[in-house]
Amino acid sequence: MGLLPYLLFSINLLAIRQVPAGTPLHIRLTTTVGSYASKVGTPVSALLIAPVKLDGKAVLPVGSLVSGRVKMVARVGFGIRHETAALDLEFNRVTLPNRALIPVSTQVAEVDNAHEHVTRDGRIHGLRATDSGTYRISGYIRTVLLRCELHAAIAVWLVKSLAVKVPEPEIYFPAGSELTLTLSAPLLSSPSLDGGPLASELPDGEREDLQRMVAAMPDRAYASARPSDLTNVLLIGSHDQIAAAFAAAGWDEASPESFGRRVRWLRAVGDREAFGSAPMSSLLLNGAAPDMSWEKGLNDVSKRHHIRIWKQPGTWQGQELWIGAATRDINFAYLRRGRPFTHEIATDVDLERDKIAYDLAFTSCGSILDWAQRPDVPRVTRNATGDSMTTDTGVVTVELNDCSTPRLSTETIDEAPVPMHAGGLRRFVRREILSARSDLLRRNWYYRGYETVRYIIASARRHQHPSTVLSALFTSLRTASLPEPEIQVTPKSVHNIAPPAPGPNITN
């Protein structure tokens, strides 16, 4: 009898598994949080929008409620103490759909926005308002006015304070904003938490037919004659079903390119603003342009999720077939092959593939059928502009339905969202203070020289082998002449200023 407790304890240990630290949790906020009005200790909640997986099973299923509190907040206010805002969010509980409560230890790893960045310790930092392209341009205009000895003090103030728009420096995440957490400690899992398989269980015959169908489809889109994005999403359903599912998931259909939209895009680049339905460049699949293009824009046009979709011949159980190439834009890039100004994409394209599958499944407008492997597809390759792409070679298959009552990405339990910022007068005073601080600290040759060196090193690290970083820097410094400090156009300025029209295709 004395061995029985030990035997039961050993069996229980075998039943418990660990979800390792570093595992991502993709969440969508259901409460609003912002640096201007949120207080330390304010409750924060979100929904899990992608399952947490272990051995092919969903340990934490989609729809689980993730909750926590505001741990730290620093607002810009009048801009006297801080130029940038900061937030630290602590999520420490998960409530499963069956009401079971699980304690977790997490930290924020990524914010699905472009104005904010996350430090290694999980703290969210906002942008500096005076870092926008239009503000920098205004600085050069002011410099020229003063150099011409026009004594145009009023004109200088008007350019700086009234004609130029600067981004909002306070951090603001409305309900529906998406973040990625990572487990900072292992999560114990037991069979009672298993949420079932991640894809629908298909009969063996149907699964084999689906795999053969995927293998026969084109695996790559082209830009002119250059191979580009990999196809990685197969949609089964009608055009209207696909459109309804993406709309419910909070995606926008890309607008056709026109002169007006090009101007709007350039303005959004300069002001660091969003442009949710921005045009996308046209890749070709078997010589055909996409039948649909969908995107999920963030709060800055430098980043977005997007997919191009082509209708395919044949059907699956009487339903239409569509193949898509999904990638995520993460920054602007310059002087690329065939594109002087375009977007750079994230290297791991499988993350965008899975993002789309889980977004559509979350709405209840679609169900994931399978992840089909294509062994002939290279695991490491590059797109048409030279960006590296890595993949496990899989294609996710999503079957759409009529979706009469979709679960919208904008659904929220937030009854009293916090305000985004102060009133107009306080914001005007803040702007004047931030502008004065920026001019005092950064309108000098020393800071611009530091900025130039920093940009050269960062650019070399992104696009060259590490051994060439120092040589590129020394070559640039050796060959460059010393510019006039007051009218130098720094590389960081170029990073925020679009080229004048007419220009090359500006989207990716």
For 183-226, what is each residue's pLDDT tens digit?
A: 999 987 665 566 667 778 788 888 888 889 999 999 999 998 89
Count of CB atoms within 10 A of residue 191's CB? 9
Q: Is 387 left (phi over 0), alpha (psi -120 to 50) or beta?
A: beta
What are the structure tokens assigned to 458, written together? 């960062």
- Across 46-55, 204-213, 324-333, 390-399, the highest mean pLDDT is recorded for 390-399
Task: Please give the Cα distance from 124 to 110 (Å, whole number).
Answer: 9
Pairing of strands 394-400, 233-236: parallel
pLDDT band at 144 (very low <50, low <70, confident <90, very high): low
Residue 355 clears pLDDT 80, i.e. is over it: yes
Please choose, from the candidates 22, 158, 50, 195, the residue with its C-alpha nearest in 3D space to the C-alpha of residue 112.
50
- Look-up of token digits 């920054």: 331
Residue 83 clears pLDDT 90, i.e. is over it: no
SS3 content of the chain, % helix, strand, coil (to 5): 30, 30, 40
User: What does the longest C-alpha to C-alpha distance in the chain come to?
Assistant: 99
| Secondary structure, 3-state, 6-40 | HHHHHHHHHHCEEECCCCEEEEEECCCEECCCCCC
Condensed to tens digits (0 to 9), the pLDDT of residues 35-74 reads: 999 999 999 999 999 999 888 788 899 999 999 999 999 9
* Range in 144-153, 162-171, 174-183 the model is least confident about: 144-153
Count of CB atoms within 10 A of residue 210's CB? 20
pLDDT band at 461 (very low <50, low <70, confident <90, very high): low
Q: pTM score > 0.85 for this model?
A: no
Give the DSSP H or E segment for 130.
none
Radius of gyration of the CA atoms of the chain, in A: 25
Please choose, from the candidates 442, 439, 436, 422, the residue with its C-alpha nearest in 3D space to the C-alpha of residue 80.
436
Pairing of strands 226-230, 220-223: antiparallel
Peptide bond into 417 cis (omega under 30): no
Condensed to tens digits (0 to 9), the pLDDT of residues 89-137 reads: 999 999 998 888 999 999 999 998 878 889 999 999 988 877 766 665 5
* List of residues 6+ apart from 133 with CB closer than 8 A: 269, 270, 271, 272, 493, 496, 497, 498
Task: Please give the Cα distance from 342 to 102 (Å, whole number).
Answer: 44
Please choose, from the candidates 376, 405, 374, 45, the residue with its C-alpha nearest in 3D space to the C-alpha of residue 233.
374
Residue 376 clears pLDDT 70, i.e. is over it: yes
* 83 close to 128: Cβ distance less than 8 angstroms: yes
* Range in 143-152, 329-338, 369-378 the model is least confident about: 143-152
Residue 143 clears pLDDT 60, i.e. is over it: no
Chain center to CA of 67:
22
Per-residue DSSP letter, 302 = T
What pLDDT score was predicted for residue 466? 39
Count of CB atoms within 10 A of residue 212's CB? 10
What pLDDT score was predicted for residue 477? 39
- Look-up of token digits 């082209």: 222
Residue 309 clears pLDDT 70, i.e. is over it: yes
What pLDDT score was predicted for residue 162? 54
The C-alpha torsion from 22 through 23 and 27 to 31, rounded to 10°, is -40
What pLDDT score was predicted for residue 404? 86
* 127 close to 116: Cβ distance less than 8 angstroms: yes
Region 382-395: mean pLDDT is 92
Region 249-277: mean pLDDT is 81
* 378 close to 216: Cβ distance less than 8 angstroms: no
Peptide bond into 502 cis (omega under 30): yes
Q: What are 189's strand-pairing partners?
A: 17
Region 361-387: mean pLDDT is 91
- Look-up of token digits 């046009």: 301
In terms of C-beta density within 10 A (0-12 exposed, 13-18 middle, 19 or more buried), how is residue 46 classed?
buried
Query: Domains, the chain, ranges and CATH?
Result: 20-126+172-189 (2.40.128.260), 133-166 (no CATH), 204-400 (no CATH), 449-481 (no CATH)
